[in-house]
């Protein structure tokens, strides 16, 4: 059996204020056992592997910034990084390095920010041809939403919901450019033709528009719905959590007529069910049993898995106690890796 090339990309430009505060908290920093997801799991991966280490990332952009670069860790700086397409610049750098370090071998990326996983998707599309590469994404969110559309929804909620969790005085929910980031990366991959919509399947989605939202008479909501459903009309297969639970056969690998696969695993697909150590836990995701049932279906399909990524692990949450039980995020990530390549 050929060895799998395994590497990490600890890019973590999370702009949320509560996350930035954690990175500055002296007490929390002293207790943190794992500084990045790759280092936490790489040695424990059970199958034959070649470990390349972490890709170079500026310290202030990692989950655990150095003391010397902590002064850079501000909401404003992370916003500026994202708005100036910093995520895309890192993605291109990782893609370029994969051409030499990975070449035509199978690979597993352990990332933090989901956007950078696109480097592996693009690399595989270049190697095997986008006509013959399927991309299966496990995610609680449909990450093809541009910032102007997302901000429009937030502004609508502020305007109409007296209990809105969003702050109307937050300057960063207005006037954001349409950057490439963890919430929008699929838009660029599809719109710029790196992968084909008919070869993409997103499973476990919890943010699928409700029937109630379809009746809202507001331009901001309408634009969002048009964007979301527009990708389905182009061929992207979005399988919501509810749809999968109502009909397990809705996840059918026969819908992808390809010889090769990239599997992208955002761990928040199991948030607050299988695990608690995801960066975003706004939705309750799939159970551990459901996740691995899906992975078994992929593994037993006719297509060959040539690359994969596991992303969005939050080192500040992973491994902590929740309701009297220790979080198993790292164990689940290892089990995911083994389900794909073991």
Of residues 231, 317, 332, 187, the one with CA closest to residue 274 = 332
For residues 194 and 129, the answer to whether their CB atoms sit within 8 Å is: no
Element (H, E) at 263: strand 260-266
Q: pLDDT > 70: what percent of the chain?
A: 100
Residue 56's domain is classified under what CATH number? 3.40.800.10
Tell me the pLDDT of the chain averaged across its residues: 97
The residue count of the chain comes to 342
Mean pLDDT of 89-117: 98
pLDDT at 159 over 70: yes
pLDDT at residue 58 in the model: 98
pLDDT at residue 110 in the model: 98
Q: How many structural domains comprise the chain?
A: 1
Q: What is the pTM of this model?
A: 0.97
- pLDDT level of residue 1 (50, 70, 90 thresholds): low
pLDDT at residue 330 in the model: 98
Query: pLDDT digits over 232-290, tens only?
Result: 999 999 999 999 999 999 999 999 999 999 999 999 999 999 999 999 999 999 999 99
Q: Which residues are within 8 A (CB) of 226 and not within 5 positions of it... i.e. 6 or more apart?
A: none
Mean pLDDT of 7-36: 98
Distance CA 264, CA 21 (A): 29
Of residues 274, 251, 236, 241, the one with CA closest to residue 139 = 241
Which domain does 331 fall in, by range? 4-341
What's the token pair of residue 141?
A: 């969110």
Of residues 331, 316, 328, 324, the one with CA closest to residue 36 = 316
∠ Cα 198 136 305 (to 5°): 110
Query: pLDDT digits over 98-107, tens only?
Result: 999 999 999 9
pLDDT at 65 over 80: yes
pLDDT at 215 over 80: yes
């Amino acid at each position: 059996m050929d060895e799998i090339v395994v590497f990490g990309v600890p890019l973590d430009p999370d702009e949320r204020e509560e996350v930035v505060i954690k990175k500055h908290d002296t007490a929390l920093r002293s207790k943190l056992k794992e500084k990045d997801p790759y280092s936490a799991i790489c040695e424990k991966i059970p199958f034959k592997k070649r470990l390349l280490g972490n890709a170079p990332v500026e310290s202030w952009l990692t989950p655990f910034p150095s003391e010397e670069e902590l002064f850079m860790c501000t909401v404003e700086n992370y916003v500026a990084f994202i708005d100036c397409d910093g995520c895309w610049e890192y993605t291109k750098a990782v893609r370029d390095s994969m051409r030499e370090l990975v070449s035509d071998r199978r690979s597993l990326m352990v990332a933090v920010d989901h956007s950078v996983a696109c480097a592996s998707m693009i690399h595989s599309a270049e190697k095997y041809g986008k006509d013959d590469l399927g991309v299966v994404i496990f995610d609680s969110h449909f990450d093809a939403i541009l910032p102007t559309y997302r901000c429009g929804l937030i502004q609508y909620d502020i305007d109409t919901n007296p209990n809105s969790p969003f702050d109307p005085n937050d300057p960063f929910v207005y006037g954001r450019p349409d950057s490439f980031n963890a919430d929008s990366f699929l838009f660029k991959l599809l719109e710029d033709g790196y992968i084909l919509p008919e070869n993409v399947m997103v499973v476990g989605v919890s943010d699928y528009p409700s029937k109630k939202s379809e009746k809202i008479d507001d331009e901001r909501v309408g634009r969002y719905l048009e964007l979301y459903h527009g990708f389905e009309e182009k061929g992207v297969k979005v399988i919501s959590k509810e749809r999968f639970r109502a009909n397990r056969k809705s996840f059918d690998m026969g819908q992808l007529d390809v010889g090769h696969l990239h599997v992208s695993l955002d761990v928040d697909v199991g948030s607050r069910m299988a695990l608690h150590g995801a960066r975003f836990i706004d939705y309750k995701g799939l159970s551990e049993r459901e996740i691995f049932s899906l992975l078994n279906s992929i593994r037993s399909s006719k297509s060959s898995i040539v690359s994969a990524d596991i992303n969005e692990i939050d080192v500040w949450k992973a491994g902590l106690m929740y309701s009297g039980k220790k979080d198993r995020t790292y164990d689940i990530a290892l089990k995911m890796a083994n389900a794909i390549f073991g």
